[in-house]
Structure 1
Amino acid sequence: MTPEKAVHRRADAARNDARILAAAREVFIEYGPDAPVSVIAERAGVGMGTLYRRYPSKEDLMRALTMATMEDTRRAAEEACAHPDPWAGFTGFLEACVEAGVDGSPRVTGSFTVTEEILQASRRAREAVQRLVDRAQAAGVLRADVNAHDIALVLGVLRELRVAHRDRDPALRRRFTAIVLDGLRPAAARPLPAPPAGWDDVVRAWQAVSARAGDGDPPPPGT
């Protein structure tokens, strides 16, 4: 194979992979983790052979999608941190995640074996979101008693609204996002009735994913 053909083949594989993951995210959001992979292949515009060559099992696909979701969340937070306006950066991050259907949590897909790699990707995503939260709080535009785990949980709730109302006008999703954002402003702040979540809560959520898969607990979180 010539170098040019090898480059072309790798580019085709990368495009197919991106289409498969994008389709999987939408299909799992719409139909849940029991959705047949044939629907994913059809929506991605690839054959079943192409999908199975890349992801031999649904668990492989779920794990790859989870990793992609963590990385997407991290990149979105880092890009938002570069915005010159801290509040515009924060709101842009939240809105982008809602539209993409990512929340940096285990709920994007169903049960699969959680690895140390996934845990560390989750930690990197949370740390990036925390930097975004810290920046907005330092600017006085975000209430001071929330953290990255709160934001991930909020995104999860908004994602569930997207699932529940997927056949309705997208304006409904934007409406609820706006309500949430207004509630995160300092002017709206009232004392919250419980302390914020911590990294241990995140690990327990991932452990629940592994337990549903019948594989026991994931590796302990890294430092």
Structure 2
Amino acid sequence: MNFQKLSIVIPAYNEGATIHLILDRIAAVKLLNDIEKEVIIVNDCSRDNTVEAVQAYMSAHPDQNIRFINHEVNKGKGAALHTGIAHATGDYTIIQDADLEYDPEEYNVLIHPIFRGNADVVFGSRFLGGNSHRILFFWHSIGNKFLTMLSNMFTNLNLTDMETCYKMFRTPIIQSIKLKENRFGFEPEVTAKVSRIKDIRIYEVGISYYGRTYAEGKKINWKDGFRAIYCILKYNLFSR
């Protein structure tokens, strides 16, 4: 199996306070078989010091393979992901939020089924018994499980966490998919479209989750939940 480089796509919006921390954690990870890391940061027209923070980090760490792309206008998380995915040159691509909710130490957990020759796409599930989970919002967890169940009903997959950030794709596969959602509809859209690829091999592994409160910068809200329902229906029934 040819897996020499992993592209790590980071959509960033107003993450100046923490983005250096996630970059430190990514740098500290030693990937299986010494896989090379390529970090692609897409700044979605942040209004804080995200640009300055990334530029300072890159200047201080010239040895790290970091590429920085700047959106001149705010387009949404999905649009930032579209940009990052289009620029990925690794054999596989993973999505990494700029906050500290997901632990890059667990990249190897997602890589494992790929190394065994079993998977083209790997989802990291927060509900399959990862190491640590911060206890936060009951209704968020119920909402996530409902959206996953609704998605599964149409895709005929048996995922436990469709809304997870950690999704690792064989890069040619994700780059071949025409993605349209510019905000948080990326997750149900990409799940619907991946599920229809002939002979696709999708795996799911348990990961940890260190959630944020809204005071700490969490951005998703109830409106995004309704958008996810719309996207599940749209991309599974009306826009195939």
Same fold by TM-score greater than 0.5: no
TM-score, L = length of structure 1? 0.29
Q: Which has the larger radius of gyration?
A: 1
TM-score, L = length of structure 2? 0.27
